Chain A
Amino acid sequence: MGKYIEMIRIRFLMMLAYRTNYYSGILIYSINIGAYYFLWSAIYGGKENIQGLSITQMTTYIAVAWMARAFYFNNIDREIAMEIKEGKVAVEMVRPYPYLNMKMMQGLGEGIFRLLFFSVPGMIIVALVFPIELSTNASTWLFFFLSITFSFIINTQINLLAGIATFFLFNNDGLIRAKRVVIDLFSGLILPLSFYPMWAQNVMSYLPFQGISYIPSMIFTEGFKGSQIYEALLNQAIWSLLLIIPVYGLWILAKRQLVVQGG
């Protein structure tokens, strides 16, 4: 356990060295959320609510979805692909800890850093400028933090899968990009899933992606109520466990067919 905490700490310190950039990032995120706000105001065009979400809830949804993204988002798929291409992965695999766990911990270090230095100040600024409703209910916050923890796990597992695929494809920038687009769309980052037509919602309810953005954002905006929250969290928990199987399966296959191209 100690070694994992150390990995998180080191990554955190690494990010801290570059913290000034994050202030410019917050500004850009705020502009982004602002433009979304006006776009959605135009879409609502005076309507009280669409699919049970009021315009204030919608703005909150967009803001929290982007801020939560800063926490669960990481580039470990690209890092793994790079280490495989450069042959570094061979050395990494000799080290006395599981490679995949190490990558996950690095991602967590990055996520915690962004949560503290990016999402929290960003959310405060956005809340001052735009009409956003922050819940005063402690249990909502508790469920939200539990939910984004699951978001991180699910998103990281999908990233690991995309990264490991490099073992088989050698060059998989295209796959990584496609994965990112699919997640943006199916996770509910761009649009709440309840806005989609029924048949599309049915398809998406069988996929793990809604656990990445839609569920935590809906919990935060209190779009989910009562038993819906528990069902949603259970859904995330099940996917977090289920995805372990393909990750380890693919990893075992990958190790067998490892070709080091350089190093």
Chain B
Amino acid sequence: MEYISIFFQYVGQYLKTRLTYRADMIVEIFSDLLFQAVNLVFILVVFGHTNLLAGWSKDEMIFIYGFFLVPFSIFASFFNIWDFTDRYIVKGEMDRILTRPVHSLFQIVLERMELESLFGVVTGLVVMFYAGDKLGLEISWYDPFIFILLVIGGALVYAGIFIALATIGFWSDSRTDIMPMMYNIGNYGRYPVDIYNKVIKYVLTWILPFAFVGVYPSSYFLKREEWYTYAFLTPVVGLVFFLIAVTLWNVGVTKYRGAGN
């Protein structure tokens, strides 16, 4: 309960600080939209030269992208830890985090949230409804619930991967350039995994399971029955990866020695 109240107090403070630089906030939302548009442009341009991508149509690809945006935006709003090593380990900020009464990971989530990213959820839904309408998809009464479950699963997958990568900082405090590139690799989960060779398919399913944020869960809504098993595994994979990451974090914190201040 205490965590929830602290969470909303942080949200309140966050809104105040953001509203100080209103012009920047508007540009930031705009740049998010632009970023999402770039990916759509990619799909549109590519399908200007081909009709099917490994048996998937343009509208299906657009639908997958729309779905992907929802868990991704939730992740991006709360787990801004791509610069964790630089910001917390190298600069010694972790010392301060550890003196706080809440769990260290939760404290970082609170400090680093970027709520304007949640705007992507709206974009994602708009894109999904647009593509779904063109594909003539029907919505059953239970679909919204499955949707929420799959979205949570997907967001946990992303969070798990990035938290696990951030914990590397506890063991080695040198800078890594892995994180920004990871965002790129995350994009490959949006394409039908059949197109990759076995190694990459395996990596995207079981090691860096980004396919569970894009093509697998979307296949449920696109009625691609051959992928249903994977679709329903999404929440399980999300939970498992998130728990592994939090465990790694807890072990990592005990190894933290401080970089001096």
Q: In the complex, which residues 10-65 of chain B have their Cβ closer than 8 Å to any Cβ of chain A?
A: 21, 23-31, 34-35, 38, 41-42, 45-46, 48-50, 52-54
A257 within 8 Å of B (CB atoms): no
Are B45 and A191 in contact, CB atoms less than 8 angstroms apart? Answer: yes
A246 within 8 Å of B (CB atoms): no
Are A173 and B24 in contact, CB atoms less than 8 angstroms apart? Answer: yes
Question: Of the candidates B24, B30, B45, which one forms a contact with A172 in the assembled complex, judged by CB atoms under 8 Å apart?
Answer: B24
Least Cβ–Cβ distance between A247 and chain B, in angstroms: 21
Question: Of the candidates B27, B54, B175, B181, which one forms a contact with A174 in the assembled complex, judged by CB atoms under 8 Å apart?
Answer: B27
Docked CA distance A196–B30 (Å): 23
Stretch at the interface among B103-111, B183-191, B222-230: B183-191
Question: Of the candidates A18, A178, A197, which one forms a contact with B27 in the assembled complex, judged by CB atoms under 8 Å apart?
Answer: A178
Q: Which residues of A contact B21 (CB under 8 A)?
A: 170-171
A241 within 8 Å of B (CB atoms): no
Are A181 and B38 in contact, CB atoms less than 8 angstroms apart? Answer: yes
Least Cβ–Cβ distance between B92 and chain A, in angstroms: 17
B4 within 8 Å of A (CB atoms): no
Q: Which residues of A contact B174 (CB under 8 A)?
A: 18, 20-21
Q: Which residues of B contact A191 (CB under 8 A)?
A: 42, 45-46
Are A43 and B45 in contact, CB atoms less than 8 angstroms apart? Answer: no
Q: Which residues of A contact B261 (CB under 8 A)?
A: none
Q: From B28, which residue of chain A is reached at the shortest CB distance?
A: A174
Q: Which residues of B contact A34 (CB under 8 A)?
A: 200
CB 8 Å contact bits of A169-191 with B (1 = contact, 0 = none):
11111110110011011000011
Question: Of the candidates B25, B30, B53, B175, which one forms a contact with A21 in the assembled complex, judged by CB atoms under 8 Å apart?
Answer: B175
CB 8 Å contact bits of A90-128 with B (1 = contact, 0 = none):
000000000000000000000000000000000000000
A24 within 8 Å of B (CB atoms): yes
Chain B interface SS verdict (over half): helix
Docked CA distance A45–B54 (Å): 8
Given A181-B34, A184-B38, A191-B45, are A169 and B195 also a contact pair (CB < 8 Å)?
no
Q: Which residues of A contact B46 (CB under 8 A)?
A: 43, 191, 195
Are B38 and A39 in contact, CB atoms less than 8 angstroms apart? Answer: no
B197 within 8 Å of A (CB atoms): yes
Least Cβ–Cβ distance between B211 and chain A, in angstroms: 11
Least Cβ–Cβ distance between A51 and chain B, in angstroms: 7
Q: Which residues of A contact B23 (CB under 8 A)?
A: 169
Docked CA distance A37–B29 (Å): 32
Least Cβ–Cβ distance between A235 and chain B, in angstroms: 22
Which residues on A are within 8 Å of B, measured CB to CB?
A: 18, 20-22, 24-25, 28-29, 31-32, 34-35, 38-39, 41-45, 47, 50-51, 169-175, 177-178, 181-182, 184-185, 190-191, 195-197
A-B contact pairs, 24 of them (CB 8 A): A20-B174, A21-B175, A22-B177, A28-B182, A28-B185, A31-B185, A32-B181, A35-B185, A35-B188, A39-B195, A42-B53, A42-B192, A44-B50, A169-B23, A170-B21, A173-B28, A174-B26, A174-B27, A175-B31, A181-B35, A182-B34, A185-B38, A195-B49, A196-B45
Which residues on B are within 8 Å of A, measured CB to CB?
A: 21, 23-31, 34-35, 38, 41-42, 45-46, 48-50, 52-54, 174-178, 181-182, 184-185, 188, 191-192, 195-197, 200, 203
